Chains A and B, each alone.
Chain A
């Protein structure tokens, strides 16, 4: 291809990409307009930038609380998934017997079960744990974290298992001969070598848990515990017709995602590709 056709192709690509993101543009510009201006022209840039709808949306959505809840629940859940799934997978790979193979098979085969098949009985089990064992699982952050870990366990084990199979065993054997315990071998030698797949698991789980609506909606009923998707849902129930306010609220929810994307873009795209190919 010559230079001019490359330039025009590049321009075309940028135009296509911009058109693709036009919904984001519409959301942004209309979050600044008042009602009359919005209905006069929904496509135009706003005549003035007033952040009044942002302030109002922030207040109505309890945004900072919701943000804090989402952040806490996501980070703790992902950390636990990474720790437990990597340990489990390593043991399963390095202990080559029938039990290991059966456990792995159970993890993998349950990946096909849709959430809707489990949601109702899951609530009964959690309710029972709360009543019989006095461990409150419903309507607590800890309970949601516990369920997040359970739901993301199989995918994480699947990914770690595939990766660990390609990690040479020689180093571990040397460390064992030097008197290192299994625990020491795993955390000092093995886990650092799993960095790439850990990033993949963490990224996939962060995206899924941060955006999850259904599970938190079934488990959290307290207003103070709401995550971002939950508070967005209730906010919309109240303010559907006020689109400018609604758009300001939606923009707020997207800001953390965009910041995360900007800082972790390289890892996100690599992680997605690696996670899918396995």
Chain B
């Protein structure tokens, strides 16, 4: 590169690199350092180097391990529900009905509303509307306050997350379905394949790239969920729905265990990266060409 081109290169890239370095790279690196110290967050107090003690401690932390387990449980249910619903919606909407566009618009709508606000809307539904429905219909085995029992509260979060994400995955599946040539479906129909056979033998295999993307987005989204958690259950009842991100937040800013909390945050990063990359590698392998 000539000197002049080097100057242009710097002028174009340095501003963003500076912002990016101070906001992402430097905090990431000093975050690793923080995970090896104990510190209460008060600048005047010393940071004491403790080696891997924080990492050893977090695996003995029952609340953290429970929260990890609940996050996995939540993610599995959310992953299934979001993608099944998104796929069904996309199949319905691509049938070229007159109302298809309106339906698509409506299914996608919740995705634009932030998780915090969605959580509050549903908090009202799961507490008061559900109780009202239970009293009125007598089906109080289904309709009771879902947020006061650990298991149903976790499932309530799955429902809210699904409500938010199903429309998003729908959009991606629609793009995938529209990319499948009509002749393929037509040819199969002429050969006598029924709807189910056309779906499982033609549509789904050709949708593998969309599955890769949607699974990636739901997996990382579910794993990192925070806003819905905060507004819907606040981690309750008695910490039973405190998921990963919230546990880290509470450890650092709630209890002031900056070192231990940061060690959890690093473990969290490693897990998110490992899980999502594994998923992408697995589903990529199953993508087919026609």
A-side residues, CB < 8 A to B, are 6, 9-10, 13-14, 16-18, 20-21, 23-24, 26-27, 30, 38-39, 41-43, 84-85, 87-88, 90-92, 95, 97, 103, 106-107, 110, 112-122, 124-125, 127, 129, 146-147, 149-151, 153-154, 157, 182-183, 186, 207, 210-214, 229, 232-233, 236, 243, 246-247, 250, 253-254, 257-258, 260-261, 265, 268-269, 272-273, 276-277
Q: Say yes or no for B22: interface residue by CB 8 A criterion.
A: yes
Kindly state the separation between the CA atoms of A151 and B172 in the bound complex, as whole angstroms.
Answer: 24
Chain A residues positioned under 8 Å from B248 (CB to CB): 116
- Known A17-B103, A149-B16, A207-B111; 8 more pairs at CB < 8 Å: A103-B13, A106-B25, A113-B28, A121-B30, A149-B19, A229-B116, A236-B120, A265-B105
Kindly state the separation between the CA atoms of A10 and B108 in the bound complex, as whole angstroms.
Answer: 18
Which secondary structure dominates where chain A touches chain B? Answer: helix
Asked if residues A153 and B16 are in contact (CB atoms below 8 Å), the reply is yes
Q: Say yes or no for B168: interface residue by CB 8 A criterion.
A: yes
How many A-B residue contacts, CB cutoff 8 Å? 246
Asked if residues A84 and B128 are in contact (CB atoms below 8 Å), the reply is no
Asked if residues B121 and A91 are in contact (CB atoms below 8 Å), the reply is no
Kindly state the separation between the CA atoms of A17 and B103 in the bound complex, as whole angstroms.
Answer: 6
How many residues of chain B get a CB closer than 8 Å to chain A's CBs? 88
Asked if residues B230 and A213 are in contact (CB atoms below 8 Å), the reply is yes
B-side residues, CB < 8 A to A, are 1, 5, 8-9, 11-13, 15-17, 19-20, 22-28, 30-31, 34, 43, 92-93, 95, 97-100, 102-117, 120-122, 124-125, 128-129, 132-133, 163, 168, 171-172, 174-175, 209, 213, 217, 220, 223-224, 226-227, 230-231, 244-245, 248-249, 252-253, 258, 261-262, 265-266, 268-269, 272-273, 276-277
Asked if residues A6 and B24 are in contact (CB atoms below 8 Å), the reply is no
Write the nearest CB–CB distance from B277 to chain A, whole angstroms. 8
